Structure 1
Amino acid sequence: MEFSFTRYLSSKRSVDDRALNRRVWEALKNEIHQTAQKEKVRVLELGMGIGTMFQRSLEWGLLNHAEYTGIDAEGENIETARKIIPKWGNAGGWNIHPIEERQTHEDTQGVAYRFIKADLYDFLRQPQWQKYFDVVIANAVLDLVDLESVLPMIRSCLRQDGLGYFSINFDGTTAFEPVIDAELDAQIIRYYHQSMDERLVNGKPTGGSCTGRRLFHALKRANFEVVEIGSSDWVVFPLARHYPADEAYFLHFILHFFEETIPKYHQINLIAFENWLRARRSQIERGELMFLAHQFDYLVKKS
């Protein structure tokens, strides 16, 4: 099977839709709508991928008068979003329009957007974005960065009383059912989590395998007020031996993450691991595999 990261991002749209905590989302919506009564809301999304959160923000009634800036370090993701979003907007009749990267806030109705290829750290340091945004969104991102350095940078980009919506933060539980070999399953998952704890990005440690719970006090240290928290677990399962949407591909890609990670841990027998992968892939093809990942959503405010 050939693997495409942009297709993975598309395939997890329906998974995220089920997972995102609606209580946290509604709290965010209430806060934004209070702001929107006064002026256009300036939104920044970190690690925007191919634009699914932008689409969701309109489809779920979060934004109707906003300036939306999305950044991602991967050029392919940005190019895909720039192709997808105008077609989606035209088909759905959404009042959206692109703005140039250097263009400033416009007093127009609807949602103006700019998608920029940029490193998260470099973007957040730029002077023009300091105290600029009303909302910063990071979906499935904060476990990939150094929390102690990034959270204060996010705070600096927010206006007073600005909001942070930080969703799908992994929190240390991965499960595949049915169990193949209890001892082997546990060993594979343990080392997969360990790889998250050992991960470095730009030479810095990342949030790791328990980012979800670690965020609570990390946010407080960064002088954020925690407004709401809720679980946002990925639960992928077949119905009548078929997975909805493109979620079979999502599961295959999750196994691909394992395939890229586990072989470096020589404590695991490579032949046993390859057999495990084949068995899991066969379970997907037969519509038998259930997958769970435990995660948290946060809504915070700059205090």
Structure 2
Amino acid sequence: MSADFPNITILGGGLLGGSLAMALEESGQPVRLWARREETAQAARETGISGATSHLAEAVRAVDLLVLAVPVGSMPALVSQALEAGLPAGCLVTDVGSVKRAPHQEIPPLLAGRDINFIGSHPMAGSEQNGLAAASADLFQNAACLLTNDEVAPPEKAAALERFWQGVGCRTTWMSAAAHDELVARISHLPHVVAAGAALVCLQNPADGRFGGGGLRDTTRVAGGNAGMWAEILTENRQALLDPLRETIASLSEILAHLESGDQQAARQWLAAAKQQRDTLNTIC
């Protein structure tokens, strides 16, 4: 059991919420998992998450750490509902959202004067699959977890949250919400857009896919993610995403020009520069 957070509740029974609950259960940490639908809570109990419930008041009772594992756009309303259901003073609220500026703007005002702090969390773990059926207790092993404390919650709470994520296998790093959104726009959100664009072009005739090799599947894999969820993420982070997207279009225009002119040397240099950048992943990951 966590000495920092004896009572942990996760709101949201999807891929990340379910995986986090499984990881905690596997470590011997009691956890409550709340799902909006009773059938989801029942499915969670059947997977071994004994504290799964669809009753919000039961989920937030005496909680020390509340983890928001719902879409970013749903978080403020859910926090308000949790407060009405009895979210206690002294607890810490965090999230697992892919965007951080919006939660930091919208959640702390709801908690003002209640002795409840908010610190953002973004475990860089996931899958093109979604829902509780895709959840895994190992999802967070060796994943980066980006932490944001823009409202400067007490250092002891920040340290406790960092230990929490390290306890489920994450590598933690602190940054501002703005820096977070700029970073993930390039390393997470832009790759999803590029994969989606490749899927649209490469598979204009879906039957052609049966001839594709591993490169086609690797390049387009994340495009198989939930379209509604990703539309929300990209729109929420559009301020940070637009410049990298324009840079990508400009870079593709370069190789287009090289090929139109038949300049093999320039094309080789473009590809070699890309290989050099890609090879750095092998030394840091």
Identify which of structures 1 and 2 has the higher relative contact order when contacts are C-alpha pairs closer than 8 Å and 6+ apart: 1
Give the TM-score taking structure 2 as reference length: 0.38
Q: Which has the higher strand share?
A: 1
Highest CA radius of gyration, 1 or 2? 2
